[in-house]
Structure 1
């Protein structure tokens, strides 16, 4: 019996596998760039951890999430212990679904409109007249498709240009732009359904906010005449009752491991806008704070494995 890690990105899983080896825990690398699953066979025993990413298509793994969906259904049919199963994958692949689930638990999300089609996108933007708004891909990651606009005309020019990115699922979101007093967002990390820490992410350089080291060409930004400052910084002072609502929402959706992103507007209102069920961590930020999110995951999965073996 061992831990199976279902994923499509070797760089993102390398730190986790390193911890498994240090802990002498048996595991299998289940990479879903391609594969076969025989639904008529009984799946192996073990712990199955789903780390499928919504941005898999950017790594030429277009159908990895669909294959993962079939595998998770198979595993759950046979009662296997799955961490971040079908419900987690559903939210990973649809921001629209995320917002509806968050709102169900009284968690405030930005005003959002779903649109398919260029003309429909331009028409939908009229609901934001007089206020800035952003576009983003419904099925995305790493800030895919995020652009800031202040008028319908500006959006129309973008939509009709070669720069316009067609989302992999065809769905573009138009969303209220939340302007904060300070240029940062907060990402709350959860392992085993419990809050472990919050990380402050500086947004001065744009919207590609993946904390994984593999996503970051450079972890520092340095305005002229100023000392370098870390883009990712663990915020030990973060304290907000929103984490209790996040825990409740994750539990209801059978999600054990996640990173949830939020931002405060100029009036102090907190908005939540993203659930990452394929969560990553920034090693520099963790080293400065003495934290290790992947070790937390490795220990959590190891305990599940021991419990499974004992039963």
Structure 2
């Protein structure tokens, strides 16, 4: 059996654009939908290039143990020396914002003050460490899960002790310094093959559910495209910032080939980085306007990886 690209994931909607681009390049691929399954540890994996697109938000699609199963599969692949893009280390960061923050700081990236808590009482007590507004978020999240803004401990306590409180799937809730941007926006930097591709400005005035592929969805179904006076996603022309070099070093050190890294600047211009998405998606409208395609760039990178593998096997 000849080598091919294997796409590891748990969400068909997010892989359709990639499959389209791979087909345009006539690159052979196989879909590995790892919401559940089984494999024999004594088997030898097929030859190929394995692209891990497993998501931290899989449990919101009733795929509770997809990341754990994927971790087992990646361990098996890596033990046989297979080429894995966004490897097991990348997956570990995808499902833990605590791990992300620690790894980012190791590479000189500034992150907001963050406290991790397990247990409602500990979560409420941790709010004493913040003299200014703060937000909650889930440690294992995606899609803005658990993100709410609070001004003080009392309002947090009212929420945490109410029926409205939703715990993180891993039991770890974060309290994080609230960074307010003057224009209510964040910046998402996209990387392909470990290198900076482009940055997109994201309007956060309507909330924190910021995945580009989810911007115009109801559930998992895309709604019709509509014209907006101020687009939610807009690619920034000629974006440049010293932090990009730190980001690339961070990606290289952690087995991440493809990612979106989110950051925000306060009114003084200080930049804080708060999220890494190794299962990155792109906004079609913003890319069309800018004349660039993230998925096309990923497909080209995967095609080159497969070509390199074929060369090594000759």
* TM-score higher than 0.5: yes
**Which residue does 2:77 correspond to in 1?**
75
Could you report, residue by residue, the CA deviation over 1:126-178 in whole angstroms, capped at 9, with x for unpaired residues?
111x3000000000001000000001000001011111111100000000000
The SS at the match of 1:155 is helix
| Cα contact 1:3–1:27 (8 A) shared by 2 | yes
**Which residue does 1:212 correspond to in 2?**
213
- Counting only pairs closer than 5 Å after superposition, residues 283-294 of structure 1 correspond to structure 2 as 283-294=284-295
Instruction: Tell me how large the CA RMSD over aligned residues is.
Output: 1.5
| Cα contact 2:216–2:225 (8 A) shared by 1 | no
**Which residue does 1:110 correspond to in 2?**
112
Unpaired segments ≥5 residues, structure 2? none
| Cα contact 1:281–1:294 (8 A) shared by 2 | yes
The SS at the match of 2:212 is coil
Deviation at 1:216, TM superposition (A): 3.6
Aligned equivalents of 1:303, 1:237: Cα separation in 2: 26
**Which residue does 1:253 correspond to in 2?**
254
**Which residue does 1:42 correspond to in 2?**
44
**Which residue does 1:306 correspond to in 2?**
307
Deviation at 1:214, TM superposition (A): 7.0
**Which residue does 2:196 correspond to in 1?**
195
Aligned equivalents of 2:267, 2:119: Cα separation in 1: 33
Aligned equivalents of 1:106, 1:290: Cα separation in 2: 32
Deviation at 1:219, TM superposition (A): 9.5
Q: Which TM-score applies when normalising by structure 1?
A: 0.96
Deviation at 1:221, TM superposition (A): 10
Change (3 A) 1:142 1:45: same
| Cα contact 1:219–1:230 (8 A) shared by 2 | no
Aligned equivalents of 1:165, 1:155: Cα separation in 2: 13
1:238 counterpart = 2:239? yes
Unpaired segments ≥5 residues, structure 1? none
Aligned length: 306
Change (3 A) 1:193 1:138: same
**Which residue does 1:178 correspond to in 2?**
179
**Which residue does 1:54 correspond to in 2?**
56
Deviation at 1:228, TM superposition (A): 2.1
Aligned equivalents of 2:33, 2:215: Cα separation in 1: 17
